[in-house]
Amino acid sequence: MSVPLARYPGVVTFTFGDSAGVSARVLSLGLTGQKTLTCDVVAGFAARGEALPEARVVDQGEFGQ
């Protein structure tokens, strides 16, 4: 991971879960389409200085499936 971080200063990284195993499993579910959504705590957005995402319904057809 150090090479991408050095190449792209200021990049933000993200992992699912609290361990490498959980992260790999959740990522695998997302990549295969078995997991199609996620969530975050409101306090997390505030701590990172991010705006809350807009709530909306997304049809899978929007992604070409």
pLDDT score recorded for residue 20: 92
> What's the angle, vertex CA 23, arms to CA 20 and CA 26, rounded to 5?
150
pLDDT score recorded for residue 38: 77
pLDDT score recorded for residue 63: 47
CA–CA dist 52, 41 (Å, integer): 10
* DSSP state at residue 54: P
Q: What is the pLDDT of residues 22-65, one digit of tens each?
A: 999 988 998 998 887 777 888 888 898 999 888 776 665 544 44
pLDDT score recorded for residue 25: 92
CA–CA dist 46, 11 (Å, integer): 19
Nearest to 12 by CA among 38, 47, 37, 36: 47
Check pLDDT > 90 for residue 21. Answer: yes
